[in-house]
């Protein structure tokens, strides 16, 4: 009898199962008969080792928050070394046949090359574009140090592409970057979108208390980093309350990130703490409660080298819960939402505010858009067909 193929998945950006895409991948592989192990950082209160639904998860204490180039370099080195050590522990328990690295960062190709000496294959799960992240956060580099940092990021990306036996991209824009910039033959690539599991993510009973006594609840769901535009959402909230005199709209911002504390301070300085609530890190039950209660969702990500070609999870999650949304017009996001979101010109905060209030004040329109969004999420964007594409990558690589 042949041995069950074993896949080791490496994640540095988020704990698992909090990382929804990675957890869906784990479940898809398990259902297809694969053994699955994961190495990732700990979340608050997480154990160092646990088994969930047959997936073996090993976690390490995350480093302190990085500041500056040296801080980020130390963070990458620390996480790489902890991951390498834990990969040895996984191997001692059960040898693995493939390593899957989920970026950011683009550093685990070096570990994959070491394991290649044992016949282990390497799959790159292409979540992010790190050179574009750098350009979006810091602008086009002008000084020598900044140009060298950007060149180094391109080199890490090329090294990852060149090492990978297969590249799994989250959309066709990323796939084309793997082919054109990374030199990966297109037959060694696959597109696996981060679709919602609509059998789980679906509207439930509203929780009126989440509106905090107001008529409407507007929800933001996602990471709060410099490139995510949440500071612009605070500007929208200020216009709703101050310029338009609306006291019937409650904003709930679900998530965490580098900018969370700065956003809280700015909200307090603007006197908006009664209208803008930050939940911090939340799990699936809380997300379901908020999105089942929301009148609208918001996607305030600004136009940037990264955002223009990236697919955000949040608009698809809004659609899964039948929540209409307002967004800045970005290429890949617009392909996902079509007419299930109101798109406005990037950077136009007044137009975003007006579109949001128009949507809140038109209940029949919200109902139509929400129903279309739910149908599109369930029939076109759902994870189920994406899971088949994902498992097919491993079937071809490990099962011939």
Asked, for residue 291, whether it belongs to a domain, the answer is yes
Integer Cα distance of 252 and 232 in angstroms: 14
Provide the CATH number for the domain around residue 18: 3.40.50.2000
Q: Domain range spanning residue 313?
A: 208-379
Which segments of the chain does DSSP mark as H helices, in order?
20-31, 68-93, 109-116, 130-138, 144-163, 172-180, 230-238, 260-269, 284-293, 313-320, 331-337, 349-360, 363-379, 383-398
Does residue 1 register a pLDDT over 60? no
367 and 290 in a common domain:
yes
Residues 191 and 43 in one domain: yes
User: What average pLDDT score do residues 71-99 get?
Assistant: 94
10 burial class (0-12, 13-18, 19+ CB within 10 angstroms)? buried
Residue 231: pLDDT above 80?
A: yes
Residue 60 has pLDDT above 80, yes or no: yes
Give the whole-number percent of the chain exceeding pLDDT 90. Answer: 81
Task: For residues 70 and 186, state if they share a domain.
Answer: yes
Establish if 19 belongs to a structural domain. yes
Distances (CA, A) of 136 to 55, 185, 204, 279: 35, 28, 37, 26
Q: What is the pLDDT of residue 4?
A: 93
Task: Report pLDDT for 320.
Answer: 97
- Whether the upstream peptide bond of residue 17 has omega within 30° of 0, thus cis, is yes
Average pLDDT for 39-52: 94
Same domain, 233 and 176: no
| pTM for the predicted model, two decimal places | 0.85
- Confidence band for 66, pLDDT divided at 50, 70 and 90: low
Residue 37 pLDDT exceeds 90: yes
- Label residue 12 exposed, middle or buried (CB < 10 Å: 0-12, 13-18, 19+): buried
Are residues 147 and 186 located together in one domain of the fold? yes
Q: Is pLDDT of 71 > 80?
A: no
Which residues 6+ apart lie within 8 Å of 371 measured at CB?
322
Tokens of 194: 């981060």
Domain match, 236 and 255 both: yes
Domain presence at residue 243:
yes
Q: Could you tell me if 279 and 187 lie in one domain?
A: no
Q: How many residues does the chain have?
A: 400
pLDDT in tens, 258-305: 899 999 999 999 999 999 999 998 889 999 999 999 999 999 999 988
Q: What is the number of domains present in the chain?
A: 2
């Amino acid at each position: 009898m042949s041995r069950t193929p074993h896949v080791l998945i490496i994640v540095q950006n988020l704990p698992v199962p909090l990382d929804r895409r990675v957890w869906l991948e784990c479940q898809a592989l398990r259902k297809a008969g694969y053994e699955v192990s994961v190495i990732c950082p700990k979340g608050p209160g997480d154990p160092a080792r646990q088994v969930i639904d047959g997936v073996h998860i090993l976690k390490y204490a995350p480093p302190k928050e990085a500041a500056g180039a040296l801080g980020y370099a130390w963070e990458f080195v620390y996480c790489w070394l902890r991951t390498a050590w834990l990969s040895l522990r996984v191997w001692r328990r059960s040898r693995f046949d493939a390593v899957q690295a989920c970026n950011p960062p683009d550093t685990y190709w070096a570990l994959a090359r070491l394991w290649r000496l044992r016949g282990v294959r390497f799959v790159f799960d292409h979540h992010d574009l790190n050179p574009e992240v750098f350009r979006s956060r810091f602008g086009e580099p002008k000084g020598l140090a900044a140009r060298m940092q950007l060149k180094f990021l391109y080199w890490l990306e090329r090294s990852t592409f060149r090492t990978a036996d297969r590249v799994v991209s989250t959309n066709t824009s990323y796939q084309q970057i793997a082919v054109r910039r990374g030199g990966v033959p297109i037959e060694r690539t696959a597109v696996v979108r981060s679709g919602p599991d609509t059998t789980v993510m679906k509207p439930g009973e509203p929780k009126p208390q989440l509106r905090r006594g107001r008529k409407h609840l507007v929800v933001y769901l996602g990471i709060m980093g410099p490139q995510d535009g949440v500071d612009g959402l605070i500007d929208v909230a200020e216009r709703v309350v101050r310029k338009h005199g609306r006291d019937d709209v409650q904003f709930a911002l679900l998530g965490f990130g580098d900018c969370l504390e700065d956003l809280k301070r700015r909200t307090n300085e603007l006197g908006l703490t009664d209208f803008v609530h930050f939940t911090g890190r939340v799990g699936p039950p809380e997300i379901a409660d908020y999105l089942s209660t929301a009148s609208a969702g918001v996607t305030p990500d600004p136009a940037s080298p990264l955002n223009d070609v990236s697919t955000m999870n949040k608009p698809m999650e809004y659609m899964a819960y039948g929540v209409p949304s307002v967004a800045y017009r970005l290429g890949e996001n617009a392909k996902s939402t079509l007419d299930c979101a109101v798109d406005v010109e990037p950077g136009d905060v007044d137009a975003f505010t007006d579109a949001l209030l128009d949507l809140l004040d038109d209940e029949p329109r919200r109902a139509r858009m929400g129903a279309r969004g739910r149908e599109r999420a369930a029939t076109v964007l759902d994870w189920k067909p994406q899971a088949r594409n994902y498992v097919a990558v491993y079937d071809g690589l490990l099962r011939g």
